[in-house]
Amino acid sequence: MFRTMRIDPWLAGILLMAIPLFVFQLSWGLPNGNSSWAADAMGPVTTLGIVKRSFSEFNSGWYYFKYPLGYPYLLVLVAAPYLVWLRVSGAWSAPSSKYPYGFEDPEHALWMISMSGRLLSVAFALGVVAVTYGIANRLLGKWPARLAAFWMATAYPIIYYAHTTNLDIGYLFWLLLALYAGIVAAQSDEALPWVTLGVAAAMAVSSKEQGFAFLLPLPLLAIGSRMRSRGAAVLWSSGVVAMAVSAIATALLANNVLFNPLGFVARLAYLLGKPLEPVSVRLAPVEFALWKGAKEWVYVRQLWDGVESTLGWPVVFLGIAGLVMVLLRYRRAALWLLLPAASQYYLSLRGLDLITLRYLLPISATVAILAGVAISDLYGWAGDSPRRRLVSAIALLTCALALARGVETHWLFATDTRYQAEEWLAEHAAATPGADVFEYYQKETYVPRFRGEPEGRFVPMKNRSIDELVARNPTGVVLSSASDKSIAHIWNPDWRETRDLLKPVPEARRLQEALQSGELGYRVAATFKQEPRLLRLRITSLAPEITIYVRD
C-alpha cells in the first residue's frame, strides 16, 4: 500500500509535533467516576455494561440505542489486559452495575480504564494525521500532503477528541483509511488495499452509521478505475472478492451479529424510525428529502460554521481556492476528494436536524487537503519572482496560526472553568463549615466535580420546581452554559409529532427564570468564563461558562 517504505521526514516531524498536542493534559477532567467532561464520551462502566449485555444471552434482541457496538468493543479490548490483571489479583472480584462496581479501588480502576481509552484516541488521532498525508500524497504530491497533515494535527477538534473517549476520532480514522485504501486499490490488484478498504469501511459504519454516504462512492471509484484496464472481469477479481468478504466479516464481528442477530435487526429498525417494540429512548431526528427549501441555506451556514471553526478562516479560504484548482487541473483527485465529501453532506448530514462540528470532520479533512494544493500550486506558479516569497509567508503565517490555535486548545484544557469553579467551591466550603449542599440540574459532564465538601446533588426533572427548591433550601445552585436547555426541557420521544426535538417542562422553566432573575433569594456569587482569542468554539463541553448561585 506504500510507494516506498521510506517515511517522509516532514511527516515524521509533524507526527512528533502532534504527540505532545494529543497527550498533554490527557487526564483533563479525571478522575470523574463513569462520567467525563466530554459530551457523549463513553464511560468505562458504560462500555463494560454494553459488552455484558451483548453477550449475556444468545439472540436476546438487545441493542445499544445510541451507537453501534464497534467502538465500545475496541475500548474494552484495549482495557482488557488491565481488567484481566484486576480479576487475577482479586481487585475486581464481583463485577456489579452499582458503585463500586466490584472494584477494590473504583476511582483508580475507572481512571485507568478511561486513560486506556484516551490513549486509543491518541493513536487514532495520529492515524488521522498520517492517513490525511497519505491521501494527499497519493493524489496531489508531497507539499499538499505535508500542509494538510499539519493543519489536521493542529485542528482543535482533533486535539480535543484525542483527549476523550468519544468515538468521533476513531470514526474519522476509519473513514479516511477507507478513502486512502480505495485510492491505492484503484491502481493495484494486490489483496491488501482491497481488504483494508473492506475492513476500514465496515469499522467506520460499525462506529457510526452516518458514514455510509462517505463510503458509498469508494468501491465504485476503485472498481471503475480497474475496469478501464481489465474490463468487467475485475468484478469477480480476487481483490474485489477479498474486499467484500473482509467487509462482511468485520461487520458481523463488530456488531455481534453472529451471537445476537435479532439485536442487529432491532437497531436497524430503530434507526429507520420503526422500532420492533416500544422503546423509552427518543427516536433520532433523521429525515432525508431531495430538497428541503429554506432549510438548505441553514445547512450551508452550518457547514461553513463547522469547517471554519475547525480549521480557521485562512485555511478555509485557501481550501476554496484549492477546490477551483482541483476541478480545473486534477480530475482524478477531484473525483476521490469531492465525491465522498459531497455524498456525505447530501445523503447523510442533510438528513439530520442539525449538522454539528464533529459530523463535519471528514469534510474538514478534505478542505485541509484542498488548502494544501492551493499553497503548493501558488508556490509553483510564482516561479522565482518575489511572489514566491509572498506565498511562502502566507503558508508560514497560516501554519503558525494553526499551531497557536492548537496551543490555545491546551490553555482551555488547563484552565477549564470547571477547575476554577471547583477551587471556589472548596474555598467556600472551608470558609463556611457545615452541611453545604449545591444543586445542579445538568449532566455531570457540564458541571464541576463534587468530590467531598461541599456536597453536590443532582435534581431530577420531576423535582425541579420553585416550591421544591424552597423546601430543599440548598446552599447554592450551579448552572452551566453547556446544554442550557436541559435544565427545563426534555427530549421529545418522537420528534415527528411536533417537529421539535425538545419539549419544555413548565415548572422547571419557571424555576430557571426565577432563579436567574434573583426572585428566589439566591444571588450570583461567582461566574467562571473563558474567552479564547483565536478559536471560535463549537464544542460546548470544552470550558463552558459556570455560574454559582448562593443563598442570600
pLDDT of 96 over the 90 cut: no
Residue scoring higher pLDDT (492 or 119): 119
pLDDT, tens digit, for every residue of 19-29?
999 999 999 99
pLDDT of residue 496: 67
- Domain ranges in the chain are 417-551
Q: Which three three-digit cell numbers place residue 483?
A: 446544554
**Of the listed ranges 40-44, 413-417, 426-430, 490-494, the one predicted with least confidence:** 490-494
Nearest to 338 by CA among 367, 299, 303: 367
pLDDT of residue 430: 80
DSSP class per residue in 357-420: GGGGHHHHHHHHHHHHHHHHHHHHHHTTSHHHHHHHHHHHHHHHHHHHHHHHHHHHHHT-HHHH
pLDDT of 74 over the 60 cut: yes
Distance between CA atoms of residues 148 and 133, nearest Å: 7
- Strands 476-480, 522-528: pairing is unpaired
pLDDT, tens digit, for every residue of 197-218?
999 999 999 999 999 999 999 9
Residue scoring higher pLDDT (257 or 275): 257
Residue scoring higher pLDDT (435 or 416): 416
Mean model confidence pLDDT for the chain: 94
Cβ atoms of residues 134 and 180 within 8 Å:
yes
Distance between CA atoms of residues 161 and 176, nearest Å: 16
CB atoms closer than 10 angstroms to residue 366: 30
First to last CA, the chain: 68
| DSSP structure class, residue 352 | B
Q: Which three three-digit cell numbers place residue 96?
A: 456489579
User: Confidence class of residue 457 from pLDDT cuts 50, 70 and 90?
Assistant: very high
Nearest to 330 by CA among 161, 144, 160: 144
Q: Which residue has the cell 476554496?
A: 320
pLDDT of residue 156: 97
pLDDT of 494 over the 80 cut: no
Q: Which residue has the cell 503558525?
A: 400
Distance of CA 147 to the CA centre of its chain: 23
pLDDT, tens digit, for every residue of 131-178?
999 999 999 999 999 999 999 999 999 999 999 999 999 999 999 999
pLDDT of 1 over the 70 cut: no
pLDDT of 284 over the 80 cut: no
Stretch 263-288: mean pLDDT? 86
Percent of the chain exceeding pLDDT 70 equals: 98
Distance between CA atoms of residues 113 and 72, nearest Å: 12
DSSP class per residue in 421-485: HHHHHHHHHHHS-S--EEEE-S-GGGS----SSSEEEE--GGG-SHHHHHHH--SEEEEESTTGG
Residue 6, helix vs strand vs coil: coil
Residue 356, helix vs strand vs coil: coil
pLDDT of residue 2: 45
Residue 522, helix vs strand vs coil: strand
pLDDT of residue 429: 84
Across the beta sheet with 437-440, the strand order is 455-458, 437-440, 476-480, 546-551, 522-528
Cβ atoms of residues 41 and 164 within 8 Å:
yes
User: Confidence class of residue 497 from pLDDT cuts 50, 70 and 90?
Assistant: low
User: Confidence class of residue 491 from pLDDT cuts 50, 70 and 90?
Assistant: confident
pLDDT of 286 over the 90 cut: no
Q: What is the pTM of this model?
A: 0.95
